[in-house]
Chains A and B, each alone.
Chain A
Amino acid sequence: QQQVKQSPQSLIVQKGGISIINCAYENTAFDYFPWYQQFPGKGPALLIAIRPDVSEKKEGRFTISFNKSAKQFSLHIMDSQPGDSATYFCAASKKTSGSRLTFGEGTQLTVNP
């Protein structure tokens, strides 16, 4: 049972374009929604995270949009660069679970020069 569903599985974007990755969750008790970025041969690393008291969080070229009523959140990468090519994972957790994360399936992003 996948509690966090992520799409698309893969994404190809031209340099300078906008990359958008979507996630949907089922458990309304989730209260923390991070995105992790993984380069080949490396472990995932936290990119940006949001809590449900805000609808948007922006850090540089990366923005999380959060829709609590729809139980959806998305990652937007503005002005995508070849160096952004990586696998992106959304995740969710709830305080009562000791912050154990439930991850989405992952999206392999390729940004062409």
Chain B
Amino acid sequence: DVKVTQSSRYLVKRTGEKVFLECVQDMDHENMFWYRQDPGLGLRLIYFSYDVKMKEKGDIPEGYSVSREKKERFSLILESASTNQTSMYLCATRLAGGPTDTQYFGPGTRLTVL
């Protein structure tokens, strides 16, 4: 079974703080993704990574950056947290070139920025 873990289930931060969200997968998947989930907006792609040290902007990258130094770990960084970044953040992985295009999701981190 694919296991995708996220460092925190709940996080409360102050406006202006630098925030790190960590995602770790144990299945040697090349592709990793960061989404945010908001009611009525579905899941929106922030950044994704095809492989180690590779990253591409998704649909809403403003205010975020990412780091992928090791294959199993993909970090999302909020350089200066703002209240409009209060959201559920979901990490996902995908096996590149696999028989399906399935993405496997972690349980999510609910971030509140005060």
Contacts and interface: CB of A to CB of B under 8 A. Distances in A.
Say whether A associates with B.
Answer: yes
Interface residues of A, number: 25
Interface stretch (B14-22, B67-75, B76-84, B96-104): B96-104
Given A43-B92, A43-B108, A100 B4 contact: no
Given A103-B43, A105-B42, A41 B105 contact: no
Given A98-B50, A100-B45, A105 B102 contact: no
Contacts of A105: 40-42
A70 to B, nearest CB: 21
B100 to A, nearest CB: 7
Interface in A1-39: 4, 6, 9, 32, 34, 36
Interface residues of B, number: 28
B105 A101 contact: no
Contacts of A36: 105
B107 A43 contact: yes
A44 B50 CA distance: 20
Given A34-B102, A100-B45, A103-B43, 9 more contacts: A9-B40, A41-B107, A42-B108, A43-B90, A91-B43, A98-B31, A101-B45, A101-B103, A105-B42
